[in-house]
Chain A
Amino acid sequence: MSVNRPPTATATLGQSLFDVDGALSETAGRLPTRGQFIRRGGRRLAAGAVGGAGLALGIGFVPGSAHARSEREDLAILNFALALEYLQASFYTEAERVGALHGPLAQQARVVGSHERAHVAALRAVLGRQAIARPRFDFRGTTDDPKSFRATAVALEDLSVGAYKEQLPRINSDHYLAAAVAIQSVEGRHAAWIRRLAGIVPAVNAFDEPVSDRRTVQLVNATRFVTLKVPHTSSKRSPSFTG
């Protein structure tokens, strides 16, 4: 990395992603916990045993409160996904705006950036007013040169694939699940594309490991890509201009 700033994403992302303002951990905090996830599985089991006869008669049984809870959990997962998509979309958009990339790498950033922005638009549309706000990012020089960009893009795409993999089985709504699956498979293609450009084997293992929401938050925090240092560009001070 050619920028003499404290080592961040490129150094830490490779091993193991944001949260100075709490955006990601806030959304992660609303996710169903592993315990809740397992308990829900238990409830499904019990409901299955008790409701077996009902199902055989074609009677569905979904309590109203459970319905609302499922919807809340799904929205939390979608907001968590939105946070990751904000991160990726902003990263590629900045890389393209800076203009330091050329050839296949520039092509990858151009195309993948358009996909990530589409993912953001889709998630924001379905979340409506409940969508979290876009955080302010400082990519700390990782968009300024091809080498830093490539290493960071590999880490971000790998993380995205793992994070989606962890959340997919927790989604209650089939419609949301269908959309999330559609996004996750594209993230897998992005990961393979940038890995190929980086000279890394696109698919190392036969099975991908999921990345927990807690781990995802840790990794994003480590990058320090989300910044609290928002430029203060407005004031109520009386002008001292020449007039």
Chain B
Amino acid sequence: MNRGGWIVLAVSLIVIACAVTLWPGGHRAPGGSARSPAPGAQASLAALPQPSKGFAIPRPRLLRDRAGVTRWAPVLEAAEARERPTRSSPGVVRVGTQTPEGTTNLVVVIGEAVRHGVTWVHARLAVLPDARTGWLPRSVLGGWQFVMTHLVINRARETLTLLRAGRVVFRTRVGVGKPSTPTPAGQFYIRDRLTRYASPEYGPLAFGTSARSPYETDWPAGGFIGIHGTDQPGLIPGQVSHGCIRLRNPAIRALGRLLPIGTPVTIT
């Protein structure tokens, strides 16, 4: 080979080496392997390694049946709850943005309706008489939240049972209202969770519910029913309270790990 031929060969080798380096895939990436040059995008994609085990895309899972799912939303603007889903309908009660405990007020949704282009939400209300419902404009509520839990309190058996997706996950004996101040029966929901307060009679943890006692309306904040611990565990189970549901302290702590806000409560 003459001198000119060697020069042409050397330049050709450099060009080929550069082409190999610059080919999308020629760059050895961290955690990856160098891709072989291929004559097209398809071949280049085909040459990609399989995603590593650390990046395996799992099998898509469908949601469970909607049955047993409860929807709730925070109240962002105070509004009048109506008897029917129209602005001209009589008011039931003014729903505020805060609970007596200073937490965000919330409502549990039991239906929806659209009237004249406005979406209305049928919600359970924390008012007397218990189990009242009303219609609120969707616009005053925040984003939907969902729970798959349901709390059932049986006054006659003095038991509290928590279900998740229809299955019992927790059960304990409880104290319920005395015959003179019975725990109200009906459909309610968990509104808030109080901890680290300095009231030993309520134990270490208390949940606020939407239930109100018709017998204790002069109680501070109007006589709302709570689910809480106690400093008198020897009284449980029994008909011992002013309407609240009392649990022994280990039981309320255990419930506290399982019970989300917005959980519907059925008291029978």
Contacts and interface: CB of A to CB of B under 8 A. Distances in A.
Are these two chains actual partners, yes or no? Answer: yes
Contact of A2 (B57, B101, B119, B142): B119
Interface in B115-146: 117-119, 137-139, 142-146
Contacts of A122: 55-58
B32 A97 contact: no
Contacts of B191: 233
A52 to B, nearest CB: 3
A64 B114 CA distance: 61
Contacts of A231: 74, 103-104, 106, 142, 145, 261
Chain A interface extent, by class: 35 or more
Nearest to A148: B119
Nearest to A186: B57
A223 B51 CA distance: 33
Nearest to A69: B30
B56 A125 contact: yes
Interface in A17-62: 44-45, 47-49, 51-53, 55-56, 60, 62
Interface residues of B, number: 88
B47 to A, nearest CB: 9
A236 B63 contact: no
Contacts of B29: 70, 172-174, 177
Interface in A105-139: 110-111, 113-115, 117-119, 121-122, 125-126, 136-139
Task: Label chain B's interface by main secondary structure.
Answer: loop
Given A97-B146, A243-B244, A175 B31 contact: yes
Nearest to B241: A243
A206 B144 CA distance: 39
Contacts of B13: 56
Interface string A209-243: 00000000000000000010101111111111111
Interface of B: 13-14, 17-18, 20-22, 24-35, 45, 48-52, 54-63, 66, 69, 71, 74, 76, 100-104, 106, 112, 114, 117-119, 137-139, 142-146, 181, 191-199, 201-202, 206, 208, 213, 216, 219-221, 223-226, 228, 241-244, 261
28 contacts: A3-B118, A3-B139, A4-B139, A52-B18, A53-B17, A68-B30, A96-B63, A111-B62, A122-B56, A125-B55, A172-B27, A174-B25, A174-B49, A175-B31, A175-B32, A178-B48, A179-B57, A231-B106, A233-B191, A233-B193, A234-B195, A235-B103, A237-B197, A239-B194, A240-B220, A241-B202, A242-B213, A243-B226
Interface of A: 2-5, 44-45, 47-49, 51-53, 55-56, 60, 62, 67-68, 70-71, 74, 93-94, 96-100, 110-111, 113-115, 117-119, 121-122, 125-126, 136-141, 143-145, 169, 172-179, 181-183, 227, 229, 231-243
The 3 closest A-B pairs by CB, nearest first: A241-B226, A138-B143, A52-B17
